[in-house]
């Protein structure tokens, strides 16, 4: 249909336009102030760093902690969310608890983790886990709840165990909203790790930015910031695409 094709082109053009405006704005700002490195210098500094291998350890530390925490949040969060969504009693008991805890800034528990576990990737990972677990629990509970009741009836009419019904019927049916929560959890895990690194860390991309800042190594700092944004961009878009594919299948 020509209308949707022209619409999509318009959207693409707008997107490209926005990116161009942003880059131009950056150039303008860098020309206006010596404290802002130009896009070109930043990218160059980033590439130099990458070539010299200076980024690898930090990258690994950040991404490692993030993935560890993210996986933990999924493994813990989905079963809890499932229980809350499926059992009226558990839902009534614990959903308010989750909702209220959601408002507490998880970063304030970072010093606690640092004290108990020590500085390093593990404390960052656990902070990411306790942060990301909330959107996952909430999304899973919501998704499980709105699974068509007829499907549960199908499961019980086959005389299957609860576990089988959960694994083969309810969870697949609730997958699109769960993926939404997982995507948000992923973003939260990433943000949490970076912020933790800006606070106290032994290594990581956040620490790299902070070091560059304190050494006034501006091009490197902006390059690292750009890299962090790029990672967030790629990661969240990938998960978003997965989520949309799942939604298309289920409609």
In angstroms, the CA 5 to CA 124 distance is: 45
Q: Which is nearer to other proteins, 68 or 70 (CB)?
A: 70
Binding mask 173-192 for other proteins (x = CB under 8 A): x-x--------x-xxx-xx-
In angstroms, the CA 107 to CA 124 distance is: 10
CB of 57 to other proteins, least distance (A): 19
In angstroms, the CA 36 to CA 27 distance is: 9
Told to check if 1 binds other proteins by CB under 8 A, we report: no
In angstroms, the CA 209 to CA 213 distance is: 6
Told to check if 2 binds other proteins by CB under 8 A, we report: no
For residue 97 the two structure tokens come to 């608890």
Told to check if 79 binds other proteins by CB under 8 A, we report: no
Told to check if 103 binds other proteins by CB under 8 A, we report: yes
Residue whose C-alpha is closest to residue 135's, from 76, 86, 82, 77: 77
Q: Residue 166: enclosing H or E segment and its boundaries?
A: none
Told to check if 169 binds other proteins by CB under 8 A, we report: yes
Told to check if 94 binds other proteins by CB under 8 A, we report: yes
CB of 48 to other proteins, least distance (A): 20
For other proteins, which residue of 24, 57, 112, 202 counts as binding (CB under 8 A)?
Answer: 112
Told to check if 91 binds other proteins by CB under 8 A, we report: yes
Binding mask 15-54 for other proteins (x = CB under 8 A): x--x----------x---x-xx------------------
Sequence-separated (6 or more) residues with CB below 8 Å from residue 150 = none
φ, ψ of residue 18 to 5 degrees: the values are -65, -45
Backbone region of residue 16 per phi and psi (left: phi > 0; alpha: psi in -120 to 50; beta: other values): alpha
Taking contact as CB under 8 A, which single stretch among the options 5-13, 38-46, 47-55, 68-76 is the one that binds other proteins? 5-13
For other proteins, which residue of 67, 71, 195, 242 counts as binding (CB under 8 A)?
Answer: 195
For residue 241 the two structure tokens come to 């695409």
Binding mask 120-159 for other proteins (x = CB under 8 A): ----------------------------xxxxxxxxxxxx
Which residues in the 207-226 window bind other proteins by CB under 8 A?
209, 213, 221-222, 225
Q: Is the dihedral of CA 48, 64, 80, 164 positive or negative?
A: positive
């Amino acid at each position: 249909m020509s209308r949707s094709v022209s619409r999509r082109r318009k959207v693409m053009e707008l997107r490209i336009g926005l990116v161009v405006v942003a880059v131009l704005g950056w150039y303008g700002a860098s020309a206006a102030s010596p404290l802002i490195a130009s896009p070109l210098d930043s990218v160059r500094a980033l590439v130099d760093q990458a070539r010299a291998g200076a980024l690898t350890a930090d990258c690994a530390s950040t991404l490692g902690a993030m993935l560890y925490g993210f996986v933990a949040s999924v493994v813990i969060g989905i079963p809890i969310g499932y229980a809350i969504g499926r059992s009226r009693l558990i839902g009534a008991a614990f959903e308010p608890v989750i909702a209220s805890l959601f408002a507490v800034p998880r970063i304030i528990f970072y010093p606690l983790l640092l004290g108990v576990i020590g500085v390093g990737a593990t404390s960052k990972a656990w902070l990411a886990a306790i942060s990301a677990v909330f959107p996952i629990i909430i999304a899973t509970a919501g998704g499980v709840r709105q699974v068509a009741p007829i499907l549960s009836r199908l499961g019980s009419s086959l005389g299957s165990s609860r576990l089988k019904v959960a694994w083969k019927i309810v969870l697949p049916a609730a997958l699109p909203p769960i993926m939404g929560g997982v995507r948000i959890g992923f973003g939260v895990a990433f943000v949490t790790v970076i912020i933790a690194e800006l606070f106290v860390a032994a290594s990581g991309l956040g620490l790299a930015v902070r070091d560059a800042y304190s050494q006034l190594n501006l091009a490197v700092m902006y390059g690292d910031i750009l890299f962090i944004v790029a990672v967030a961009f790629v990661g969240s878009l990938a998960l978003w695409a997965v989520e949309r594919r799942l939604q298309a299948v289920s409609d």
